[in-house]
Amino acid sequence: MKTTIGKMLLAAGVWLAAAPVFAAEIVVIVSPKNPATRMFSEQAAQFFLGKSTLFTPIEHTDGPLRNEFYKKVLDKDSTQVKAIWSKLVFTGKASAPKELGSSAEVKKAVAADPQAIGYIEKSAVDDTVKVILTVQ
């Protein structure tokens, strides 16, 4: 019995060690030309779930940063968010957010559009964008 439990614990430990962990701090950004100065997570979620068109969301392609943002800000996983956007697009109520492959690309797109909103690692912030939310 001890051997079986030991093997199960060892297997669980190996699985946990292999699980990806995203440790960077995430921030929500807008253009410096955007008048917004602060935002709550609940407000940011409205834009990334298609519930408000005040800002244009710029997304990351699938990956750890996106998954962590969805979990912490939207309280959803990527499958749930994809289903929400699929319904909005199918019914003609919205267009899916533009997806970019890196924080540098998201930062550049947000900096160029005063209506855009995006999220990147805090370490990627510079004076081309303005942080309006630090994700906890």
Rounded-to-10 torsion of CA 126, 32, 65, 82: -160
Q: Is the pLDDT of residue 108 over 70?
A: yes
φ/ψ of 99, rounded to 5, equals -110, 130
- Tell me what pLDDT residue 24 has: 82
Q: Which CATH number fits domain 26-135: 3.40.190.10, 3.40.640.10, 3.40.50.800, 3.50.50.60?
A: 3.40.190.10
Q: How many Å apart are CA 99 and CA 27, to the nearest integer?
A: 17
Q: Which amino acid is at 82?
A: K
Q: How many Å apart are CA 45 and CA 26, to the nearest integer?
A: 14
Return the residue matching tokens 């699938």. Answer: 62
Average pLDDT over residues 6-32: 64
Q: Is the pLDDT of residue 127 over 60?
A: yes
Domain edges within the chain:
26-135
Share of the chain above pLDDT 90, in %: 81
Nearest to 33 by CA among 95, 108, 113, 90: 113
Average pLDDT over residues 84-94: 95
